[in-house]
Structure 1
């Protein structure tokens, strides 16, 4: 069975965007970008909320983005390859190939996707990930912790629930970003 992995960039105080909805403080580090690309290459399916999907779709819809560098081209290729499932009540059509829209998160449907998949699934969007956490579907959390405190905003991890985590691995990047990999524990 494939695993459902939740990777996200967070500030040191745990936010994916600041109080103004900005995330312009995310890393521009080539090594961090390469790590994201490698993770993307491992995925067969991406599960996204609407906002994250719309932000990431440019990796397919804007060819100039891939033309910026070999690293950008590699990420664009890796992002375009997986099947995408977008959970949205407002989208009526996708702007990318190999993408389907679902109106609501269905835990049983995701369990079936995991059971049938031969490659891992990545889930993106804090609200969507919180639903997967609540359903016990997350197999791994990958937090790219950035060396910045933003003081508030949208949390990267679910609020209002307790989830024990066991550290699997850690990696420090030259930029000061630290990747922390965890699996949910039975604590």
Structure 2
């Protein structure tokens, strides 16, 4: 099983959920991804943003793709890395008890499905640890100009092999790359 970095970003490389266009097509793409995931890894900030989705479960929007995404998000096992959170209220989430490297190594040994890293900070740390097998980067057709850069503080070059691109009507593109190992 693979460890996959999955992230939305702007054309100029910034991560901010408010810059993308969350179309029904994109919600469906990510719901499908989560249904095929063995686990989703989150840092505290991104996890707290995702806590919006249980409210959609309780009060569906009527938008099929958005409501389906909420169900998929609720069902996927989530592992949250935080130094400040002491407990989680989401039934499918747990706090990591070991280091990122140990948790991911253990998950990978036990996995029957791919593991998705879904927070910029975890993607950077896992990239530095050479633990990301594949990158699935959804690039939205917007230049933000500023924000949180996805690959902030990467110190070594990472060689990637292009796999494919998945285009969306909104102009967003998911670009798939695998890490080239030496």
Normalising by structure 1, what TM-score? 0.89
Q: Paired residue for 2:160? A: 165
Residues 128-182 of structure 1 deviation map (CA, whole Å, 9 limit, x = unaligned): 1111111111111111111111112111224333111111111221111111000
Q: Paired residue for 1:20? A: none
Change (3 A) 1:65 1:164: farther
How far 1:108 sits from its partner (Å)? 2.6
Q: Distance in 2 between the 1:73 and 1:5 partners? A: 24
Write out aligned runs for 1:8-157 (5 A).
Answer: 8-17=7-16, 23-64=17-58, 66-102=60-96, 105-157=99-151
RMSD: 1.7
How far 1:100 sits from its partner (Å)? 1.3
Change (3 A) 1:14 1:104: farther
* Worse-superposed segment, 119-128 or 55-64: 55-64
Residues 39-82 of structure 1 deviation map (CA, whole Å, 9 limit, x = unaligned): 11111211100011011122124435533311122111111112
Residues 97-150 of structure 1 deviation map (CA, whole Å, 9 limit, x = unaligned): 022112663313311211111111111111111111111111111111111111
8 Å contact kept, 1:59–1:66: no
Residues 15-42 of structure 1 deviation map (CA, whole Å, 9 limit, x = unaligned): 003xxxxx42211322122111111111
Matched, 1:180 2:179: no
Q: Distance in 1 between the 2:150 and 2:98 partners? A: 20
Normalising by structure 2, what TM-score? 0.91
Aligned residues: 181
Q: Distance in 1 between the 2:99 and 2:62 partners? A: 35
Q: Distance in 2 between the 1:7 and 1:106 partners? A: 17
Q: SS at 1:40's partner residue? A: helix
Unpaired runs of 5+ in structure 2? none
Change (3 A) 1:102 1:112: closer
